[in-house]
């Protein structure tokens, strides 16, 4: 539809009023639609819109385009939207050549008019700031794409049982297809992610949902107390105006007591960054087995020695196959003895986020120093681990 535009370009390079050379060698005046005439100021013949050299009438089809877009958005809840447009090919060549002020450009006019028509049809607001829906129209190919902003739901989760991974964990043998090893489930563990995010995805009618946690606990550790902050990100949600208390009830029903969510609220994409980078202090409760019986005095002296110490940890042997070997330093603030009988103790440990507790107890063959095992000079290992408090959140 734009095949004559190269001729138009060379005509523009000559004197205005612009002329283009016809196939028979005759000169002929440029024809533009009223809208393109008004915005470019080129002296020309006013033509029927669909004969316009620049827009080929696209600026006159905005009603039709708006109707179509509104139809595509049917079923999606949104408050704000933004229109963008793309030009390329000969259309871009002409617009670049004209060097118009931004407000006179084809893109600007098109976006403005289409935005206004969609506002009229939907009652929703055009917004440049983080819109719920973005429509990008391709002015050369006459089609468009719609981007729906994901919905972010923040909350805290408790994990009351051991043996759940935080995020989806596929069966290593079949890689999700299902086999004898995984009992045809395709996964190695049931995950907190699927228990929480699946009912949320369904509730807001999205296409996919991902859980972002503020750190993670081991599969065999419970997460109790005030719960761990998380954000579920749902892609392409149809619903945005939701009753969060109702959603909370539904999720907890789905989790059947294994996992519980609390304080659900709406969040933004930037909050994920904050959760991922924040260093929230944590409190743990650990049951420790020692290589021999210990006296109350002995363990209390060891605890005093370890309080407020920087702990140097090389990546634990148990995760070395999937993480690089680094040295990290984390602080232990407080340790309290809750229970001691013969070679079994229960401790409450307050530490920086990211401290590997199991290795802080066992010493991990000298890779974590100092450790409880080292200070007591006895073998020690964690039998049970619970996170009982995480400071901070949104």
Catalytic residue IDs: 218
With a CB cutoff of 8 Å and minimum separation 6, the contacts of 137 are: 65, 83, 84, 85, 86, 110, 114, 143, 144
Structure-block tokens of residue 236: 């392409």
Candidate ranges 22-30, 81-89, 137-145, 173-181; the one touching Zn ion (CB under 5 A): 173-181
Q: Does 36 bind Zn ion (CB under 5 A)?
A: yes
Distance from C-alpha of 246 to C-alpha of 234, rounded to nearest angstrom: 17
**Do the Cβ atoms of 192 and 164 come closer than 8 Å?**
yes
**Do the Cβ atoms of 76 and 124 come closer than 8 Å?**
no
**In the complex, minimum distance from the CB of residue 173 to Zn ion, in angstroms, rounded to a whole number:** 5
Nearest to Zn ion of 44, 118 (CB atom): 44
**Do the Cβ atoms of 162 and 222 come closer than 8 Å?**
yes
312-336 CB burial, b ≥16 within 10 A, e <16 = ebbbbeeeeeeeeeeeeebebeebe
Distance from C-alpha of 274 to C-alpha of 270, rounded to nearest angstrom: 7
Distance from C-alpha of 144 to C-alpha of 170, rounded to nearest angstrom: 37
**In the complex, minimum distance from the CB of residue 53 to Zn ion, in angstroms, rounded to a whole number:** 7
Residues numbered 175 to 204 that lie near Zn ion (CB under 5 A) are 179, 181-182
**In the complex, minimum distance from the CB of residue 91 to Zn ion, in angstroms, rounded to a whole number:** 11
Quick check: helix, strand or coil at residue 80? Answer: strand
Q: What's the chain's length in residues?
A: 394
**Whole-number Cα distances in Å, 360 to 185, 340, 349, 354, 369:** 35, 18, 10, 11, 7
**In the complex, minimum distance from the CB of residue 184 to Zn ion, in angstroms, rounded to a whole number:** 7
Nearest to Zn ion of 78, 189 (CB atom): 189
**Do the Cβ atoms of 144 and 114 come closer than 8 Å?**
no
Residues numbered 113 to 172 that lie near Zn ion (CB under 5 A) are 171
Nearest to Zn ion of 33, 91 (CB atom): 33
DSSP of 109-158, one letter per residue?
HHHHHHHHHHHHHH-PEE-SSS-SEEEEEETTTTEEEEEEPPEEEEEEEE
Residues numbered 265 to 324 that lie near Zn ion (CB under 5 A) are none
**Do the Cβ atoms of 243 and 133 come closer than 8 Å?**
no
**In the complex, minimum distance from the CB of residue 178 to Zn ion, in angstroms, rounded to a whole number:** 6
Nearest to Zn ion of 55, 151 (CB atom): 55
Distance from C-alpha of 151 to C-alpha of 79, rounded to nearest angstrom: 13
**In the complex, minimum distance from the CB of residue 216 to Zn ion, in angstroms, rounded to a whole number:** 23
**In the complex, minimum distance from the CB of residue 193 to Zn ion, in angstroms, rounded to a whole number:** 18
Q: Does 174 bind Zn ion (CB under 5 A)?
A: yes
Nearest to Zn ion of 5, 124 (CB atom): 5
Quick check: helix, strand or coil at residue 265? Answer: strand
Residues numbered 39 to 98 that lie near Zn ion (CB under 5 A) are 52, 54-55
Distance from C-alpha of 70 to C-alpha of 133, rounded to nearest angstrom: 12
Nearest to Zn ion of 36, 335 (CB atom): 36
Nearest to Zn ion of 182, 275 (CB atom): 182
Q: Does 380 bind Zn ion (CB under 5 A)?
A: no
Rg (CA), the chain: 32
Of 88, 173, 265, 318, the one binding Zn ion (CB under 5 A) is 173
Nearest to Zn ion of 179, 205 (CB atom): 179
| Count of residues in contact with Zn ion, rule CB under 5 A | 11
**In the complex, minimum distance from the CB of residue 189 to Zn ion, in angstroms, rounded to a whole number:** 12
Residues numbered 4 to 33 that lie near Zn ion (CB under 5 A) are 33
Residues forming contacts to Zn ion in the complex (CB under 5 A) are: 33, 36, 52, 54-55, 171, 173-174, 179, 181-182
């Amino acid at each position: 539809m734009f095949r004559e535009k190269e001729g138009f370009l060379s005509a523009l390079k000559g004197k205005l009023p612009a002329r283009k050379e016809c196939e028979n060698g005759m000169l002929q005046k440029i024809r533009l639609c009223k809208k393109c005439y008004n915005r470019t100021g080129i002296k020309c013949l006013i033509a029927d819109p669909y004969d316009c050299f620049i827009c080929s009438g696209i600026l006159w089809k905005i009603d039709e385009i708006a109707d179509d877009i509104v139809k595509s958005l049917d079923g999606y809840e949104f408050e704000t939207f933004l229109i963008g447009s793309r030009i390329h090919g000969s259309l871009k060549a002409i617009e670049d050549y004209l060097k118009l002020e931004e407000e006179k450009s084809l893109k600007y006019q098109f976006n403005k008019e289409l935005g206004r028509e969609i506002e009229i049809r939907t009652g929703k607001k055009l917004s440049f700031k983080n819109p719920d829906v973005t429509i990008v129209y391709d002015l050369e190919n006459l089609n468009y794409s719609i981007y729906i902003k994901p919905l972010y739901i923040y909350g805290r989760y408790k994990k009351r049982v051991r043996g759940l991974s935080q995020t989806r964990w596929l069966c290593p043998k079949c890689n999700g297809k299902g086999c004898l090893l995984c009992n045809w489930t395709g996964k190695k563990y049931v995950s907190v992610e699927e228990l929480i995010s699946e009912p949320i995805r369904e509730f807001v009618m999205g296409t996919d949902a991902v859980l972002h946690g503020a750190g993670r606990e081991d599969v065999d550790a419970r997460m109790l107390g005030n719960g761990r902050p998380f954000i579920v990100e749902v892609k392409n949600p149809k619903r945005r105006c939701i009753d969060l208390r109702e959603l909370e009830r539904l999720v907890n029903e789905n989790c059947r007591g294994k996992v519980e969510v609390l304080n659900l609220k709406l969040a933004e994409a930037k909050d994920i960054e904050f959760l991922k980078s924040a260093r929230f202090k944590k409190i743990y409760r650990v049951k420790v087995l020692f290589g021999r019986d210990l006296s109350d005095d002995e363990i209390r002296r060891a605890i005093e020695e370890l309080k407020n110490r920087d702990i140097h940890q090389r990546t634990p042997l148990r995760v070395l196959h999937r993480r690089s070997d680094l040295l990290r330093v984390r602080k232990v603030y407080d340790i309290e003895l809750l229970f001691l009988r013969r070679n079994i103790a229960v401790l409450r440990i307050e530490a920086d986020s990211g401290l590997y507790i199991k290795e802080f107890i066992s010493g991990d063959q000298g890779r974590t120093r100092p450790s409880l095992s080292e200070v007591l000079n006895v073998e020690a290992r964690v039998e049970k681990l619970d996170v009982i408090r995480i400071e901070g959140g949104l």
